[in-house]
């Protein structure tokens, strides 16, 4: 019986990874193919293969330019941003034991936005960092924000109830939003750049943005995935996790740092994109279960594919005009968020898992 259960469990997880990977691959191909000029899937595969092996593809040069220089970097960047926000949201939800927690509601995204807007507003450039100044300061401000939120929540409620932390995060998010609005009101020529960036977009981002995003994505994701087992233990409560031998303080710190790195880097290259870190982990958990050893990598795959498709809708729904990608994710995420709030109210007093 135990052997049969184990085999069924493993089979389900294999199906989960196959389904999530297939969803991502289809999203990438569709995202590259559809646009003002339609590019055949076969030609996309030829261009990407030739680019990887540094060969000349037997494809129309116009298709080569569209795929390699415009759509492929945009699609990949959207994928990395979606993956970063989704895995950060899944980790925060596991750590706080609440499906309403995500980088947006905890104020982390707003903190990262303040760092990025200050960098743009003051035209900052840190020596030796160069192009990495923007993501670096976004990450620093994201980390500062999450720690201030936790300290403030502890001052209000020593028990550090999840509801208190989330409400504190929302308060700080609103305050930082007002601070950003003040900077916009004071700015001049940078106004268009800051407003366009705040609305969330991966438009006109080339390979350079991917190079900026990739190291932070790999570091943050690796840190979270390596803590998947500990997140499982902490999702039952800190006391139980301590009894299981988990160094709770260290693991909490690592998860918060990794989540802030991912959020800060995502915000730095794409602006503020809400609800991805809320919706995707929740749907992934409903489909494949709460085990963080699988939930985190599955959230990466699903979040990546989701934001690629959201970006596709944003740039094609009223073509040739492009909508900010944050508008599309908000239209999807806001109703889901409202549903989660009502569901959590009904389940008050019961342990979330």
Q: Give the model confidence (pLDDT) of 154-186 as tens digits.
A: 888 776 677 788 888 888 988 998 888 887 777
Q: What's the mean pLDDT in 41-68? A: 90
Q: Please tell me the pTM assigned to this model.
A: 0.88
Q: Which of 211 and 3 is assigned the larger pLDDT? A: 211
Q: Which of 4 and 156 is assigned the larger pLDDT? A: 156
When pLDDT is cut at 50, 70 and 90, the band that residue 219 belongs to is very high
Helical axes 72-96 vs 292-316, angle rounded to 10°: 140
Residue 8, pLDDT above cutoff 60: no
DSSP element (H, E) containing 19: helix 2-33
Tens-digit pLDDT profile for residues 271-322: 888 889 988 998 898 888 899 999 999 999 999 999 999 999 999 988 788 8
Which pLDDT belongs to residue 5? 47
Q: Which of 308, 290, 300, 198 is nearest to 258 (CA)?
A: 300
What's the rounded Cα separation, in Å, for the pair 351 and 126? 46
320: cis peptide before it, omega within 30°?
Answer: yes
Q: Which of 341 and 37 is assigned the larger pLDDT? A: 37
Alpha-carbon separation of residue 5 from 1, 2, 8, 285, 333 (angstroms) = 6, 5, 5, 20, 35
Tens-digit pLDDT profile for residues 86-116: 999 999 999 888 777 888 878 899 999 999 8
Residue that is written with structure tokens 């609103």 in the block: 174
Residue that is written with structure tokens 């298709």 in the block: 63
Backbone angles phi, psi at 61, to 5 degrees: -55, -30
Which pLDDT belongs to residue 30? 96
The CATH fold assigned to 82-346 is ABC transporter involved in vitamin B12 uptake, BtuC (1.10.3470)
When pLDDT is cut at 50, 70 and 90, the band that residue 4 belongs to is low
Which pLDDT belongs to residue 123? 81
Tell me what the pLDDT averaged over the chain comes to. Answer: 86
What proportion of the chain, given as a percentage, has pLDDT over 90? 40
In residues, how long is the chain? 353
């Amino acid at each position: 019986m135990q052997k049969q259960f184990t085999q069924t469990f493993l089979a389900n997880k294999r199906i989960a990874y196959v389904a999530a990977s297939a969803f991502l691959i289809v999203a990438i191909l569709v995202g590259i193919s559809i646009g003002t000029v339609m590019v055949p899937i076969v030609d996309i595969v030829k261009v990407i293969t030739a680019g990887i092996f540094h060969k000349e593809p037997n494809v129309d040069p116009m298709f080569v330019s569209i795929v390699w220089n415009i759509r492929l970097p945009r699609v990949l960047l959207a994928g990395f941003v979606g993956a970063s926000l989704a895995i950060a949201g899944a980790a925060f939800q596991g750590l706080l034991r609440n499906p309403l927690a995500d980088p947006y509601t905890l104020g982390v995204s707003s903190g990262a936005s303040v760092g990025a807007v200050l960098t743009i507003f003051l035209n900052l450039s840190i020596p030796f960092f160069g192009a990495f100044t923007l993501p670096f300061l976004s990450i620093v401000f994201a980390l500062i924000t999450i720690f201030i939120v936790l300290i403030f929540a502890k001052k209000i409620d020593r028990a550090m109830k999840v509801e208190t932390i989330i409400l504190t995060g929302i308060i700080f998010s609103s305050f930082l939003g007002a601070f950003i609005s003040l900077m916009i009101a004071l700015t001049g020529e940078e106004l268009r750049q800051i407003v366009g960036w705040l609305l969330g977009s991966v438009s006109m981002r080339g390979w350079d943005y991917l190079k900026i995003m990739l190291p932070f994505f790999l570091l943050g994701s690796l840190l979270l995935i390596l803590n998947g087992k500990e997140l499982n233990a902490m999702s039952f409560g800190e006391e139980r996790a301590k009894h299981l031998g988990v160094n709770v303080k260290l693991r909490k710190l690592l998860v918060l740092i990794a989540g802030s790195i991912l959020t800060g880097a995502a915000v730095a290259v794409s602006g503020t994109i809400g609800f991805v870190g809320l919706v995707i982990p929740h749907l992934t958990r409903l489909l494949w279960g709460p085990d963080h050893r699988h939930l985190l990598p599955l959230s990466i795959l699903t979040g990546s594919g989701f934001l690629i498709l959201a970006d596709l809708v944003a740039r094609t729904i009223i073509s040739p005009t492009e909508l900010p990608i944050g508008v599309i994710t908000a239209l999807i995420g806001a109703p889901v968020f409202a549903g989660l709030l009502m569901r959590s109210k009904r389940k008050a007093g019961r342990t979330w898992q």
